């Protein structure tokens, strides 16, 4: 049985062009591609990581140095990406001439939460990257993810801190970059709808009742009264992280 994959043409137009422009700005603003030759994309197979895969595949070598792209997919019975067929991702990566590594994690659904599951998946990704001499990993986190993380940290830990666009993980000697940190989730949804891969969803029963979901609902309610809240929080998170980085 043949596997159907998205047929995405470029140069991009409309929303795709907006996303590309924002990714280029983030890559430039935070010098994300400096001094690297190989970049791995954390590919869950959802709308965010697939959008990032297609965008970076097009952008690399066009205005930025040409780098070798790879992908890493971690699955498990309930982990994010569990509903994605490996053959589907392999076919996409083969079509783009990108090598992909597969692995899995075992999660006890009764004893886990979104944070611990995400931590285990990241740990596995870092291990694969280190084993294959890959020093930089791109994650598909977008502006909404950053804002939600900022508020989660504020409400639970009293820390005004979101996601760093670029951060070095000392324990694994790998660098994390987030090229879609300026991109709105609604733009990714529109792009994935147009290219027929929005239907790929996480099937984890925990995700639908997570604290992150609660925060997302809170932001949507605030946005009705303060339309610029997401842009303002996003900008504030960068200002805070820059000031924190300058502290001795």
60 neighbors 97 (Cβ within 8 angstroms): no
The number of domains in the chain is 1
Domain membership of residue 188 (yes or no) is yes
How many of the other CB atoms lie within 10 Å of CB of 11? 9
pLDDT the model gives residue 1: 53
More confident call, 3 vs 101 = 101
Structural domain of 226: 15-246
Strands 166-169, 174-177: parallel, antiparallel or unpaired by DSSP? antiparallel
Model's pTM, two decimal places?
A: 0.90
Domain membership of residue 97 (yes or no) is yes
Cross-strand partners of 101: 72
- Sheet with 68-75, strands from edge to edge, namely 99-104, 68-75, 38-42, 136-138, 174-177, 166-169
Domain membership of residue 7 (yes or no) is no
CATH of the domain at 197: 3.40.50.620
Residue 41 has phi, psi (to 5 degrees) of -105, 125
pLDDT digits (tens, 9 = 90+) for 77-111: 655 555 578 999 999 999 999 999 999 887 655 55
Percentage of residues in the chain having pLDDT higher than 70:
84
Beta strands in 6-78 (DSSP E): 38-42, 68-75
The answer, yes or no, to whether residue 142 has pLDDT greater than 70, is yes
pLDDT the model gives residue 48: 96
pLDDT digits (tens, 9 = 90+) for 161-180: 999 999 998 888 899 999 99
Domain membership of residue 3 (yes or no) is no
Cross-strand partners of 72: 42, 101
Domain membership of residue 80 (yes or no) is yes
84 neighbors 200 (Cβ within 8 angstroms): yes
Domain membership of residue 185 (yes or no) is yes
Distances (CA, A) of 46 to 117, 175, 240: 16, 22, 30
Q: What is the CA radius of gyration of the chain?
A: 18
Q: Terminus-to-terminus CA distance in the chain, angstroms?
A: 59
**Please, which pLDDT band fits residue 183 given cuts at 50, 70 and 90?**
very high
Domain membership of residue 10 (yes or no) is no
More confident call, 200 vs 125 = 125
């Amino acid at each position: 049985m043949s596997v159907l994959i998205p047929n995405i043409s470029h140069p991009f137009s409309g929303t795709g062009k907006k996303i590309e422009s924002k990714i280029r700005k983030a890559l430039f603003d935070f010098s994300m591609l400096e001094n690297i030759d190989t970049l791995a994309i954390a590919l869950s197979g959802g709308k965010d990581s697939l959008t990032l895969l297609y965008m970076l595949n097009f952008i690399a070598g066009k205005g930025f140095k040409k780098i070798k792209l790879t992908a890493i997919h971690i699955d498990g019975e309930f982990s994010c990406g569990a509903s994605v067929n490996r053959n589907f991702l392999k076919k996409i990566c083969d079509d783009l001439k990108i090598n992909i590594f597969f692995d899995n994690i075992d999660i006890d659904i009764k004893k886990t939460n979104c944070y611990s599951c995400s931590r285990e998946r990241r740990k596995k990704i870092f291990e694969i990257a280190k084993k294959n001499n890959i020093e930089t990993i791109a994650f598909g986190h977008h502006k909404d993810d950053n804002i939600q993380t900022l508020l989660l940290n504020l409400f639970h830990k009293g820390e005004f801190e979101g996601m760093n666009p670029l951060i070095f993980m000392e324990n694994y000697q790998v660098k994390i970059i987030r090229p879609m940190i300026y991109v709105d989730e609604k733009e990714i949804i529109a792009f994935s709808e147009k290219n027929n891969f929005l239907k790929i969803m996480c099937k984890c029963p925990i995700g639908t009742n997570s604290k992150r979901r609660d925060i997302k609902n809170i932001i949507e309610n605030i946005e009705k009264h303060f339309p610029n809240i997401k842009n303002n929080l996003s900008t504030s998170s960068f200002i805070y992280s820059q000031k924190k980085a300058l502290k001795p």
